[in-house]
Amino acid sequence: MTETQQNPIAQVGEVRDIPLNRLKASPKNARRVGHSAEVVEARAASIQTKGLLQPLVVEPELRDGGGETGYYLVSIGEGRRQALRLLAKRKLLPKAAPVRCVVDTHNDPAEISLDENVSRSDMHPADAFEAFKDLAERKGYGPEEIAARFGVSAQAVRQRLRMGAVAPALLDLYREGDLTLDQIMAFAVSPDTERQMQVHALLAPHQRQPYAIRRAMTQAKVEADDPRAVFVGLDAYVAAGGAVLVDLFTEAGQGWLEDVALLDRLVAEKLQAEAIALREAEGWKWTAAYLTYPYDHGCRRVWETLLPRTPEEAAARTDLIAEREELVERYADLADLPEAAEARLAQIEEALAPLEDRYGFDPADKARAGAFVLLGHDGDLRIERGYVRPEDEPPAEPADDPGGEADAIAEEGAGDEDEAAGDEEEAREVEEPLGQANAPLSPRIRADLTAHRSTALRHALAEAPELALVALTHALLLRVFRGVGGYASCLDLRIGSRNLAAEGEGIEDSRAGRANAERHAQWARQLPDDPEAYWDFVVGLDADSRMSLMAHCVSLSLDAVRGWENRPMAWSHADRLASGLDLDMSDWWAPTADRYLGAVTKAQIIDAVSEAVSPEAAERLSGLKKAQMVEVAEPQLVAARWLPACLRTPGRPLPWKTPAAQAGDASEPEDDAA
């Protein structure tokens, strides 16, 4: 006989069925931190569906004198005991249900409890992923049923099933330690195992950061928060047969739309439908749908004007205003108006509301103009109205120019012909000294005379700063609102307006961008249709309004963008302007994930938090992943009103450096990096 046969492994303890209500927690259990509610719930679910697979190890409870009390202390299996008690509490088991136990009076309860917890080896996560996948495929269980059998959430099961579907070769690399769990989760964003292997091969080992893997896995897809997806709506996209890829490993459940061609078609169809509906509802000659604003449209723009009141409306408004003034005058000496008078004044104000100044497009303009229907930066519809195409412009009326000066001005560029004409006229003057009294002057003479006039005008204008302001505003107005200048004003002023939307994403939808557009529209509504009438319009403004209009026109020429061009003097001038205006960019911009944090490095985020909050807060971010770091840093930086260096105004106190902000550091939440 062999030694093993002579000395078989000793079986310690007697197996008994002990009533559940006779089992107690052992004070000798090595585990001092109890099982979580989630763990107990999971074990209860397992026992309910599969029974108690492993007996508890117990010892009899003894009285002080040495006799047994009839109860048993659980040395191994306290988690299972709590799970059984939970089932009994839910009336799924009798309180005295028999529980299979091993009664061990031989071993030290504290030692075997320690042994149970220390020597246990958890299975590798990859093995668990594949085991869940096998259970789903072999038995046909769905995530909800598996979740119920194991006492975990259905979302956790879906995650494990998705990771179990990762290419086997990648799971093997995970088992060997060549890939991390975060990398496996990034590959699992898409169940396409062929694509997973392609991305693994394409990315060098030092490039396989989780965010880089996830980006490569989804580069041919559209994120669910893309403006196109928001505009169409996820439900409409899915109803049209579109597939959605959902990231099961982020809290927000980030998703991607996989059929980009379908999405673009749905966007185009919806924009076109909106354009047709707008044309029918508002009466434009045409409407056109575009994904983004077509800056090369070549159209002239018309604006809303003050709509005239009908004679009936004008009479009603006059009567109501007179009645209001009469009521106010009648009770001028009273601190509080009588209740009847108060009620009548309220009725008058309500009746006056629809009779106040209203702006709209002239029907004649609508008959030849159109509107662009666009997709806004936030996924909402954006409409730009009042564009007249060149072919829809009304025919130009012949100018009243008996002397022929308009023709002469138009032909000034053709210098040779003008010179020839001048020579011929001079020759005729020699030959015919009397000539005709009403004959036009030669361009040469006319230029000589008007040069002297221009010199005198310069001097006179320099001596009349108020009129110079009028002339400046008029010239700017022509350039900004009509796109003309040199041939409509005698001031040779040249300004441009850089397309800031091409540099900064979402500029039009920002608070400052919307304020600029609204101010522009408000002025445009007031302007006369004929540029010839602009001078009288500017002259008729009061001083404050004229200054406001001039400031608006000048503001649209400002370009302080620091891109590839090297314009140090212009940037310095922008800093001086910002200082003069006491500009606080934290009123207009915030360091959000979309606008800043998502585009910079982790080191730059940590540096910003260190400066704006505290070095300690920055230190707590150092171990986080990029997405987690952004999530934690964003509310802190936004609350501190932190700004990058290029947005700070020289000489202006930084909001996060003020005494109040520094005092607020002491009240910083302790779990801000949790």
Q: Which pLDDT tens digit goes with each residue over 523-569?
A: 888 888 788 888 898 889 888 888 888 778 777 777 777 766 676 77
Average pLDDT of the segment spanning 645-671? 64
The DSSP symbol for 656 reads: G
The whole-number pLDDT of residue 58 equals 93
Average pLDDT of the segment spanning 389-418? 57
Residue scoring higher pLDDT (473 or 607): 607
The DSSP symbol for 591 reads: -
Does pLDDT of 188 surpass 70?
A: yes
Does pLDDT of 15 surpass 50?
A: yes
- How far apart are the C-alpha atoms of 497 and 527, rounded to whole Å? 20
Cα 541 to its chain centre, rounded Å, is: 40
pLDDT band for 420, please (50, 70, 90 cuts).
Answer: very low
Average pLDDT of the segment spanning 185-192? 84
Average pLDDT of the segment spanning 191-199? 84
pLDDT band for 674, please (50, 70, 90 cuts).
Answer: very low
Q: What does each C-alpha distance from 249 to 44, 126, 181 come to in angstroms?
A: 26, 16, 11
Average pLDDT of the segment spanning 47-63? 89
Which amino acid, residue 84?
L
Helix axes 543-555, 511-526, angle to 10 degrees: 130
Condensed to tens digits (0 to 9), the pLDDT of residues 226-252 reads 888 999 998 999 999 998 887 766 555
Confirm if 237 and 257 have CB atoms less than 8 A apart: yes
Residue scoring higher pLDDT (34 or 282): 282
Q: In which residue are the tokens 């008996």 written?
A: 402
Cα 181 to its chain centre, rounded Å, is: 30
Does pLDDT of 433 surpass 60?
A: no
Average pLDDT of the segment spanning 71-89? 92
Condensed to tens digits (0 to 9), the pLDDT of residues 267-322 reads 989 999 999 999 999 999 999 998 888 877 888 888 888 888 888 988 998 999 99
Of 72-86, 115-129, 153-167, 340-354, minimum mean pLDDT range = 115-129
pLDDT band for 142, please (50, 70, 90 cuts).
Answer: confident
pLDDT band for 437, please (50, 70, 90 cuts).
Answer: low
The whole-number pLDDT of residue 669 equals 37
Residue partners of 590: CB distance under 8 A and separation at least 6: 637, 638, 641
Confirm if 124 and 42 have CB atoms less than 8 A apart: no
pLDDT band for 82, please (50, 70, 90 cuts).
Answer: very high
pLDDT band for 459, please (50, 70, 90 cuts).
Answer: low
Does pLDDT of 134 surpass 70?
A: yes
The whole-number pLDDT of residue 7 equals 46
The whole-number pLDDT of residue 17 equals 92
The overall average pLDDT reported for the chain is: 79
Burial class (CB in 10 A: 0-12, 13-18, 19+), 207: exposed
Q: What is the percent of the chain where pLDDT is above 70?
A: 80
Average pLDDT of the segment spanning 380-399? 84
Does pLDDT of 155 surpass 50?
A: yes
Does pLDDT of 405 surpass 70?
A: no
Q: What is the percent of the chain where pLDDT is above 90?
A: 18
Neighbouring C-alpha atoms within 13 Å toward the C-beta of 281: 7
Q: pTM score, two decimals?
A: 0.47
Residue partners of 110: CB distance under 8 A and separation at least 6: 28, 29, 30
Does pLDDT of 374 surpass 50?
A: yes
Residue partners of 621: CB distance under 8 A and separation at least 6: 605, 606, 609, 629, 632, 633, 673
pLDDT band for 404, please (50, 70, 90 cuts).
Answer: very low
Does pLDDT of 145 surpass 80?
A: yes
Tell me the backbone φ, ψ of residue 163, rounded to 5 degrees: -70, -30
Of 4-8, 140-144, 194-198, minimum mean pLDDT range = 4-8
Apex CA 363: angle with CA 357 and CA 366, to 5°?
Answer: 115
Residue scoring higher pLDDT (480 or 362): 362
**CA nearest to 21, candidates 76, 75, 79, 93:** 93
Confirm if 359 and 308 have CB atoms less than 8 A apart: no
Does pLDDT of 23 surpass 90?
A: yes
Confirm if 293 and 384 have CB atoms less than 8 A apart: yes
